Chain A
Amino acid sequence: MLRGIVLALLVTCLLSGCDRPHDTVFRDRFYALGTLIDLSLYGANPEQQAQASEALVLAFNAMHTDWHAWEAGSLAQTNTQLAEGRPFRPGADILPLLQSANRLSLQSGGLFNPTIGKLVDLWGFHADEISALTPPDPAAIQALLARAPSAADVVLENGQLVSRNPTVQYDLGAFAKGYAIDRGIELLQSLGIAHAIINAGGDLRAIGRHGDRPWRIGIRHPRQAGVLASVELSEDESIFTSGDYERYFEASGRRYHHIIDPRTGYPAGQTVSVTVMHREAATADAAATALFVAGPDDWTALARRMGIRYVMLIDRDGVVHMNPAMQSRVRFETGTPTIRLSKPLT
């Protein structure tokens, strides 16, 4: 008996030393869509790795050109045609993107509003480098708000798009990244890749696993260096965070960030960050923005309406608002914050 136990322990200790080598994850990085795209592949062979990298770079660069909010491309051309108010046949590359954005916008009750490009531009966020030093003239904000651009203003009839509101200008900054990640994952799957993460500037979708365990994701703290919490993702799941720290400028000691509340024309003021987990990255992206705008008092109703099952919202006092399903999956890494638990979302 004793010899058996000793032998078993010895074998266990030896096996635990047989760690998988670190390089089982293939990684590649490139710049597109105004951010850093990080690809991780587990278990792919060298040929798949090379194919995946090349195909993703090409696909993301094409999407970057087509969907850019303020550089010349399909979206800019579409915006010009929408402003003219005449029906036109949109490019095949742009139509599914706009339809998907419109559907999510309507579902969010307009809190995710991709048609407020003129407002975003007025705030100075249509630039790689934010140059605004002061908020815009309140009268200019009110003038745009009075025209109330909305996804409902854009109609598709017989394959032709027409806008009933000349103020509509698409800015897909809160959506294109998610949509692109979904297309990227489809591309990887078409190459036979089963285990991967596409991370676009901190927002990502993961498929499969990291060997014998799920993919582990750290959620960065919104107000200090380091990690706030971690989660393990299921076999096909996205995690997106919208935060007031991503793009902003400061004027007179106040922070003006890029998530504009379409109802007020000003940056949404009650929320610091919202993290959403959902299968499709495009939905997670739009929902994170909409829930950020909804804020700590109204996020649960909106999450239910958008079919979102996992939400973590941090308000400006640092209180963490979560639904019970999210709490069961989040592990706080640097002390437990004050948590306000909602009723279940489903």
Chain B
Amino acid sequence: MTRADWLLIVVVAACLPLLYARFWLPAGPASWLELQAGDAPAQVITLSPDRQLDITGPLGESRIEISGGKARFLSSPCRSKVCIHTGWLEHTGEVAACLPNRISIQLLGRHPRYDAMNF
């Protein structure tokens, strides 16, 4: 083993945690929220500061809560409340929708862990 071989081993070993973080850790906090109401073009808004937004759909107002880089449906005038039961969206790519009120939200970020969600 030469000095260069040792150096290579040390450098590769030092890079492993970085590679792990880049490729295997869950996607980092999302940066933006894409919000779509009806067939209007989607709006992209930032995930800070924490706030609540009232979005109007055909059934009435849905309230979206943004807090700590996460987002969720807080209330919605639909009967089934599937949108609220979806809970907090935390990772890039996650989506929640109130179909009866035609409002959907999705977290966007630089490195989405998933290209699409199946459910």
Which residues on A are within 8 Å of B, measured CB to CB?
1-2, 5, 9, 19, 22, 25, 29-31, 34-36, 38, 40, 128-131, 197, 199, 201-204, 206, 210, 215-220, 222, 224-227, 230, 239-241, 243, 245-249, 275, 333
Contact = CB atoms under 8 A, between A and B. Distances in A.
A36 B104 CA distance: 8
Contact of B115 (A1, A210, A246): A210
Contacts of A246: 82, 119
Chain A residues touching B, majority SS: strand
Contact of A36 (B85, B94, B97): B97
Contacts of A230: 113-114
A111 to B, nearest CB: 21
Given A1-B2, A225-B87, A40 B115 contact: yes
Nearest to B103: A36
B79 A129 contact: yes
Interface of B: 2-4, 7-8, 11, 26, 36, 38-39, 42, 78-80, 82, 85-91, 93-95, 97, 99-100, 102, 104, 110-119
Contacts of A210: 115
A5 B7 CA distance: 9
Contacts, number: 108
A220 B100 contact: no
B72 to A, nearest CB: 8
A221 to B, nearest CB: 9
Interface centre among B99, B102, B110 (most CB of A within 10 A): B99
A34 B117 contact: no
B114 A218 contact: yes
